[in-house]
Amino acid sequence: MPVASSTLNELTRIVGNDAVVKSRAGLHVYECDGYTLEKACPQLVVLPADTAEVCEVVRLLSDSGIAFVPRGAGTGVSGGCLPAEIPVMIGTSRMKRIRRIDLAERTAEIEAGMVNLDLTRAVAGDGFYYAPDPSSQNACTIGGNIAENSGGPHTLKYGVTVNHLLGLEVVLPNGELLQLDRTPGRPGYDLSGFITGAEGTLGIVTAATVRLLPSPESVATLLAVFPGVLEASRAVSRIVAAAIVPAALEMMDALVIEAVEAAYKFGFPADAGAVLIIEVDGLACGLDGHCEHISQACRDEGASEVRRAADEKERALLWKSRKRAFGAMGRLAPDYCTQDGVVPRSKLPEIAERTAEIGKRHGIRIANLMHAGDGNIHPLLLYNGEDSAEVARVLEASREILQACLELGGSVTGEHGIGVEKIGLMTESFGSEEIASMSELRSVFNPRGLCNPGKIIPDSRACVEVTRPRPRGGG
Amino acid sequence: MPVASSTLNELTRIVGNDAVVKSRAGLHVYECDGYTLEKACPQLVVLPADTAEVCEVVRLLSDSGIAFVPRGAGTGVSGGCLPAEIPVMIGTSRMKRIRRIDLAERTAEIEAGMVNLDLTRAVAGDGFYYAPDPSSQNACTIGGNIAENSGGPHTLKYGVTVNHLLGLEVVLPNGELLQLDRTPGRPGYDLSGFITGAEGTLGIVTAATVRLLPSPESVATLLAVFPGVLEASRAVSRIVAAAIVPAALEMMDALVIEAVEAAYKFGFPADAGAVLIIEVDGLACGLDGHCEHISQACRDEGASEVRRAADEKERALLWKSRKRAFGAMGRLAPDYCTQDGVVPRSKLPEIAERTAEIGKRHGIRIANLMHAGDGNIHPLLLYNGEDSAEVARVLEASREILQACLELGGSVTGEHGIGVEKIGLMTESFGSEEIASMSELRSVFNPRGLCNPGKIIPDSRACVEVTRPRPRGGG
């Protein structure tokens, strides 16, 4: 049902004419996020300037019974902000102010549309940073990070978004504003923690108070080269079982290395079957010992080479190779589909074997990126989107890999969320009692389901398998 | 209404005769927790041996419409497990098994009745520990810690219980069992996080999977002596603003020092106006530098002396003085009332001044313990319970101190929870919209309110001020 012209006029009055996107060309940008398998244009996008405008917009939509979906930068990779059958999108891109930085308290209050890395940039000069660092951190917003409870390579040591959250400002689906304090020990139920990771189904986060961490005195980044994924996986287990907490512990296999080497020319050995990127941080005086310990663990598991980034420039190039690996995959095949699953760390060798077997059986080349320290795998399934039989095999192979994650005691998403992509898998991950609880809990905040309908809780729209046109690049 | 004898028979059949406490003498133990201001005996206490028995007991009580309250070790200090008008208490004291320790994954799955410190004892030999360390850690249970989302002196660096939780096993108030996975990135709403800190109002936690941390390579503990609380508070701000994260940062004022010195004879200077206990941990090579930096910050704020615990024995005695300070307070007055509030760390000098002013105005001696690094204050109000006018002044002074915490941007509990003690303050801490949301959220899990009624959500029973007999020792 089209949004009534009276409603459009009201929305325009609230946010201003320049902040309502309604042309076909303008809306095109908003038809999908980093999950490009499904696309759908909203009827219009409004871009409020501040929290008061968000409240007014949401109240109007709520009063009119019009569904809406919040969106940050659109870097999500599971279609969490896909406006399928949702008429209005509310974007936070104009809300990127820093409200308060308090270095004595080590906190910052920022608006939801602020880009993740901009917060670190704002405090780096004083020796602080914001820890959660998704690969998309130079584009993704804090609000989107909260919706997805995002992590990043440094999750292993520093935890995910919720671990750094001290308060939320949330516009409820009826337009009311909640200010939630989440300092440790605060009384009552942890509503902020509950809203975090809810993929925008409980309200629109407009601002957050987050913890700032002192920058580590020193950082060392190692590259370890292995004959294959199995050996590298075993090294991960060995490193994690020792009493060292690396800041990051990432794996790339031969196919990923081939692509990123072509793109960024770091100088990975041509014959590497897999590499680990291992970072340790802390006091300068301790890093040599940690590096030696980790190097030995890698060599014990068959590493042919372990080298330490010589300087900040080399370290930056190594991380660029890792963080922009997705972007380099286009060199290997016309299309690829990023999967996202979790297994217990000790099961990494097993999931690597099973992924390889699944790929072989279906005739699909699969590259492997892993936040290995967290047991979070990102198999990248390569294919040609023009070949519909191959597309079908990719979907089946994806399903089997996620099924294997569940069988090994893991889960069907590590960090990318459910979105529209995996809503059909919710019933495989949870019992009906739990899903019923989640549905009832959603109803407390979002009783009419107007706020981001069709996400998290499986309903009649959940048959994404049959509506999927074809898989294409992840993010 | 008395529990029907048929129900009693059924409960006895489920848990066995020895595991039902119904004699007046036996029930006496369960009439209160560490918050001794209110007492109430349950009609009976059942002590299930395992999760299956908890399910059966809860199902029976639910089917019979009988309210129940879970209890761990009863070390809580806000009356969270007070069985006021609740007929049946379900104790977890027999459920203390370790189900699984996985050092490669750095996790442990333990039953809810396990004593906090016993978990660390079980893994210490392998170089690991469980981080949350309430002062009562040699008695309190993991289940109780989850109910209260407990912290401890090391919360400053390592966070509270929820930060270490990877999964929960929960018996819902209807007797159904939920197994909740909380590994980072798991999909769906964070039900485990939501249940943590809910003070047993959403179900009974029967087991948990928690994170184990590698023991720090080295620890240094400093004692800094100040002329008064103001100077010590300013030193806290200075230390926290520097790029060091102490593992703990605790304050005791002159009255507390007097009591603990009499009890444990650590050797605190007789003229100390306040002391800070500051612990740093990490690599041995870095601790000297940290200690020097912290010592300088203390001296800059007027510390007359900063000394480092010479060995593990001296360090243990220093921590004993701090952790058992509550127990020593009886030396100063016949009775005392422990308060628990939070202010932003930068407001510590201000709350110290206001607390002193409030005490002076009401003629009440107030000793001060603080988890200073977290801004968590524990004023101890000394009085004689035989003097009813003094009791009234203690209650009024307590109220004013908590009011001051709110005015300074803090909250009315730092870690002790709401329990029965502070339920009347919930409406001062939250808007009606938030309390309504909490109440609806509780109803999702606990629709008939049979599980720990009267807690968290203020209702008709909330007028604790008028029902309070008289304040006595906290915990």
Cβ of A240 within 8 Å of Cβ of B189? The answer is: no
Q: Which residues, 6 or more positions from B88, have their beta carbon under 8 angstroms from its beta carbon?
A: B3, B11, B42, B43, B44, B45, B46, B61, B66, B67, B68, B69
Compute the distance between CA of residue B41 and CA of residue B87 in angstroms, rounded to an integer. 8
Instruction: Tell me the CATH number at A268.
Output: 3.30.70.2190
Do A196 and A248 fall within a single domain? no
Compute the distance between CA of residue B473 and CA of residue B147 in angstroms, rounded to an integer. 22
Q: Give the A window 195-234 contacts with B, CB below 8 Å.
A: 196-198, 213-215, 217
Provide the β-strand partners of residue B303: none
Give the model confidence (pLDDT) of A419-429 as tens digits.
888 888 888 88
Compute the distance between CA of residue A457 and CA of residue A422 in angstroms, rounded to an integer. 11
**Mean pLDDT score, A102-108:** 90
**Of A90, A10, A100, nearest to A50 (Cα)?**
A90
Assembly ipTM: 0.83
Do B146 and B186 fall within a single domain? yes
Burial (CB count within 10 angstroms: exposed 0-12, middle 13-18, buried 19+), residue A285: middle
Residues found in chain A: 475
How many Cβ pairs closer than 8 A exist between chain A and B?
216
In Å, how far from its chain's centre is CA A417? Answer: 7
Structural domain contains residue A39? no
Of A185, A240, A414, the CB nearest to B413: A185
Cβ of B188 within 8 Å of Cβ of A456? The answer is: yes
**Set of chain B residues whose Cβ sits within 8 Å of the Cβ of A129:** none
Compute the distance between CA of residue B87 and CA of residue B46 in angstroms, rounded to an integer. 11
Q: Is A20 near chain B, with CB under 8 Å?
A: no
Tell me, what's the pLDDT at B284? 85
Instruction: Give how far A78 is from chain B: nearest CA, Å.
Output: 12
Q: Which residues, 6 or more positions from A306, have their beta carbon under 8 angstroms from its beta carbon?
A: A222, A223, A224, A225, A294, A295, A298, A299
Do A342 and A323 fall within a single domain? no
Structural domain contains residue B470? no
Residue range(s) defining the domain that contains residue B302: 218-327
Q: Give the A window 28-87 contacts with B, CB below 8 Å.
A: none
Cβ of B189 within 8 Å of Cβ of A197? The answer is: yes
Those residues of chain B that have pLDDT short of 50 are: 460-475
Cβ of B438 within 8 Å of Cβ of A188? The answer is: yes
Q: Is A163 near chain B, with CB under 8 Å?
A: yes
**Of B112, B101, B108, nearest to B209 (Cα)?**
B108
Cβ of B127 within 8 Å of Cβ of A162? The answer is: no
Do B177 and B105 fall within a single domain? yes
Tell me, what's the pLDDT at B470? 38
Structural domain contains residue A425? no
Do B344 and B388 fall within a single domain? yes
Q: Is B281 near chain A, with CB under 8 Å?
A: no
Do B352 and B315 fall within a single domain? no
Cβ of A187 within 8 Å of Cβ of B418? The answer is: yes
Instruction: List the Cα angle A442/A447/A451 in 5-degree steps.
Output: 75
Structural domain contains residue B59? no
B382: part of which helix (H) or strand (E)? strand B376-383
| Banded pLDDT at A325 (limits 50, 70, 90) | confident
Do A269 and A193 fall within a single domain? no
Instruction: Give how far A337 is from chain B: nearest CA, Å.
Output: 19
Structural domain contains residue B7? no
Q: Which of A214, A233, A266 is the last residue of a domain?
A: A214
Cβ of B162 within 8 Å of Cβ of A190? The answer is: yes
Calculate helix-pair angle for B51-64, B5-15, nearest 10 degrees.
Answer: 170
pLDDT higher than threshold 50 for residue A472: no
Do A111 and A208 fall within a single domain? yes
Pick the more confident residue, A243 or A218: A218
Tell me, what's the pLDDT at B256? 94
**Mean pLDDT score, A41-56:** 97
Tell me, what's the pLDDT at A467? 29
Do B123 and B205 fall within a single domain? yes
Provide the β-strand partners of residue A117: none
pLDDT higher than threshold 70 for residue A474: no
Q: Is B127 near chain A, with CB under 8 Å?
A: yes
Cβ of B184 within 8 Å of Cβ of A429? The answer is: no
Do A373 and A396 fall within a single domain? yes
Cβ of A244 within 8 Å of Cβ of B214? The answer is: yes
Structural domain contains residue A30? no
Of B184, B194, B214, the CB nearest to A194: B194
**Set of chain B residues whose Cβ sits within 8 Å of the Cβ of A186:** 342, 411, 413
Provide the β-strand partners of residue A220: A280
Query: For residues A168 and B199, is the Cβ–Cβ distance under 8 A?
Result: no
**Of A333, A349, A319, A325, nearest to A154 (Cα)?**
A319
Q: Is A445 near chain B, with CB under 8 Å?
A: yes
Tell me, what's the pLDDT at A326? 83
Tell me, what's the pLDDT at B140? 96
Give the model confidence (pLDDT) of B68-88 as tens digits.
999 999 998 888 999 988 999
Q: Give the B window 285-304 contacts with A, CB below 8 Å.
A: 285-286, 289
Cβ of A285 within 8 Å of Cβ of B282? The answer is: no
- How many structural domains comprise chain B? 3
Do A223 and A151 fall within a single domain? no
Give the model confidence (pLDDT) of B99-153 as tens digits.
999 988 899 999 999 999 999 999 999 999 999 999 889 999 999 999 999 988 8
Tell me, what's the pLDDT at B432? 86
Structural domain contains residue B85? no
Burial (CB count within 10 angstroms: exposed 0-12, middle 13-18, buried 19+), residue B406: middle
Instruction: Tell me the CATH number at A146.
Output: 3.30.465.10
Residues found in chain B: 475
Chain A residue with CA closest to B435: the answer is A188
Do B389 and B285 fall within a single domain? no
**Residue B330 burial (CB count, 10 A):** 14
**Of B444, B456, B448, nearest to B170 (Cα)?**
B444
Q: Is A441 near chain B, with CB under 8 Å?
A: yes
Residue B201's alpha-carbon distances to A155, B47, B138, B468, in angstroms, are 31, 19, 25, 22
Structural domain contains residue A68? no
Q: Give the B window 346-385 contacts with A, CB below 8 Å.
A: 346, 374-376
Q: Which of B414, B437, B457 is the last residue of a domain?
A: B414
Burial (CB count within 10 angstroms: exposed 0-12, middle 13-18, buried 19+), residue A96: middle
In the structure encoding, which two tokens stand for residue B222, read together? 């400093």
Chain B residue with CA closest to A160: the answer is B184
Q: pTM for this one?
A: 0.88
Q: Is A176 near chain B, with CB under 8 Å?
A: yes
Instruction: Give how far A363 is from chain B: nearest CA, Å.
Output: 30
Query: For residues B220 and B244, is the Cβ–Cβ distance under 8 A?
Result: no
Query: For residues A276 and A284, is the Cβ–Cβ distance under 8 A?
Result: no
Cβ of A434 within 8 Å of Cβ of B344? The answer is: no
Instruction: Give how far A20 is from chain B: nearest CA, Å.
Output: 31
Query: For residues B243 and B310, is the Cβ–Cβ distance under 8 A?
Result: no
pLDDT higher than threshold 60 for residue A473: no
Compute the distance between CA of residue B179 and CA of residue B426 in angstroms, rounded to an integer. 30
**Residue B252 burial (CB count, 10 A):** 28
Cβ of B190 within 8 Å of Cβ of A178? The answer is: no
pLDDT higher than threshold 60 for residue A62: yes
Of A155, A181, A413, the CB nearest to B411: A181
**Of B201, B202, B205, nearest to B455 (Cα)?**
B201
Lookup result for tokens 């516009």: A171
Cβ of A151 within 8 Å of Cβ of B214? The answer is: no
Q: How many CA atoms does the CB half-sphere of A181 hold within 13 Å?
A: 19
Query: Do the bridges between strand A98-102 and strand A107-111 make them parallel or antiparallel, or are there none, so unpaired?
Result: antiparallel
Of B213, B342, B440, the CB nearest to A183: B342
**Set of chain A residues whose Cβ sits within 8 Å of the Cβ of B347:** none
Best probe of the B interface among A148, A162, A189, by most B CBs < 10 A, is: A189
Instruction: List the Cα angle B441/A161/B208 in 5-degree steps.
Output: 60
Best probe of the A interface among B189, B244, B293, B301, by most A CBs < 10 A, is: B189
Cβ of B286 within 8 Å of Cβ of A289? The answer is: no
Instruction: Tell me the CATH number at B366.
Output: 3.30.70.2740
Q: Which of B414, B437, B466 is the last residue of a domain?
A: B414
Instruction: Give how far A456 is from chain B: nearest CA, Å.
Output: 6
